[in-house]
Chains A and B, each alone.
Chain A
Amino acid sequence: MEMKPAGQYIYSDIELDREEGQVIADLKAKSLEPIPDPDQWLEEELQQNILLTTVDALINWGRRSSLWPAICFPACCAFELIAANGPRFDLSRFGMEIMRASPRQADLMITAGTLTWKMAPNVRRIYHQMAEPKWVIAMGACAISGGIFASAEYAVVPGYNRIIPVDVYVPGCPPRPEALIYGIQMLQKKIARRKNIDMRKMLER
C-alpha cells in the first residue's frame, strides 16, 4: 500500500516551540544552586512553635489528615506511588486516595521520578498553581540528586530542589511504598508542629 506522506500538522508552531525552549533555557541558567529547604528558612518560625494554640492544633490536624496529592508522576517512582495507593499498602487509610487532577485543589506534591530540564518549567508551574499551604515530598534518588542519571547533565535536573523547595526527602531507587508512607508520616509530624496563628504578633497589636 502506498502511504500518503504525513501532512503538515495544522498546529505545529515552531515559534511556540522556540518560546518554550527559551523558557527552559532561562530556567536552566537561573537554577544553578539548590533552593534551601523550608526547614532552613522557616527556622525562626519553627523555634516559636512551642506555643501552639488549640486552633492551631485543630487546623494542623485537618491539614495533616487530608493531604490530597497532586498528580505529578514523571517516571519510575510513580509505580511505587501507585502501589502505595493500591490495595496492599493503601494510602487511602490516611485520607489520601483523592488524587486531585487539578493542582489548585492539591496540598501535596509527591515528585515521583526524574526531572528533566524540559519538564522543569512545568513542574515549577504546577507548584506555583497549588494553593497554600503546600508541601513537597521528593521521592527517590532522581528527585533528590538526579540519581543514576545525574551525569547526563545536559538533560537531567540534579534534584527537584533546584526548582522548588522540598520538605521531605525519601531515598531509594525507587523507594519502597513503606518508605514513602514513612516519609508521609514524617511530613504529617512536621505539619503538626506548624504555627498558623501568631499569638505574639496578635498580642503586640
Chain B
Amino acid sequence: MTVALSGKEVAGKIEEKFPGSVVESGPDNLVVKVDSLLDIARFLKEADGLEFNYLNFVTAVDYYDHFAVAYRLSSLKHNHSLTVKARCYDRENPALPSVTGLWQGADFQEREIYDLFGIRFEGHPNLKRIFLWEGFEGHPLRKDFI
C-alpha cells in the first residue's frame, strides 16, 4: 500500500534545510515557494528516507488569481507519496523552474502545461507548444479562455 506521507512532517524536514521555503502544508501535500522549488525538489529526490525517485505527474490548476502547479511524487523504494505544489501569481507571464533535470519524465508534461496554461518552465530544453500549433492564440485550459 502506498503511504501518503504527512505534509507536515516533510515540511518540517524541509524547513530544517531551507528555512522559510514552505508556504503551507496539509495532510498529504505541501505548498512551497517558487524560488526554492528546484532545491526542495532535489532534496526530496535525494534525502535519505524520502527518495522520491518517481514523478507520477505534473499538472496545473487555474484559480483565477494564481496558478497552482502540482507535482505528485512517489518513491518506488519506500512506497510512499507526496503532492508538492507551487503557486504562480503572475498571470501575464507566469514562470517556474523546470524539473526535467531531476525527473526526465516531466519533459512532455511541462510542455503540455506550457501549451495549455501558458506557464513557462525556465530551463526546459525544448519548451514549445506540444498539442496545439505554433501561432495558436490563448491557452485553452485557463478558465478565461473563450
Contact = CB atoms under 8 A, between A and B. Distances in A.
The reply to whether A and B meet directly (CB within 8 Å) is yes
A22 B131 CA distance: 15
A21 B101 CA distance: 29
B132 A8 contact: no
Contact of B125 (A6, A14, A18, A24): A6
A8 B126 contact: yes
Given A5-B101, A6-B125, A12-B126, A21 B134 contact: yes
A41 interface: no
Interface in B99-138: 100-102, 104, 107, 125-126, 128-129, 131-136, 138
Most chain-A CB neighbours within 10 Å: which of B107, B125, B140? Answer: B125
Nearest to A16: B134
A76 interface: no
Interface residues of B, number: 18
The range of chain A's interface size is 10 to 19
Contact of A6 (B104, B128, B132, B135): B104
A17 B101 contact: no
Contacts of A5: 100-101, 125
A7 B128 contact: no
A18 B100 contact: no
Nearest to B102: A3
A198 interface: no
A39 interface: no
A155 B132 contact: yes
A25 B133 contact: yes
A81 B129 CA distance: 31
A18 B101 contact: no
- Nearest 4 Cβ contacts at the A-B interface: A21-B134, A21-B135, A21-B133, A17-B134
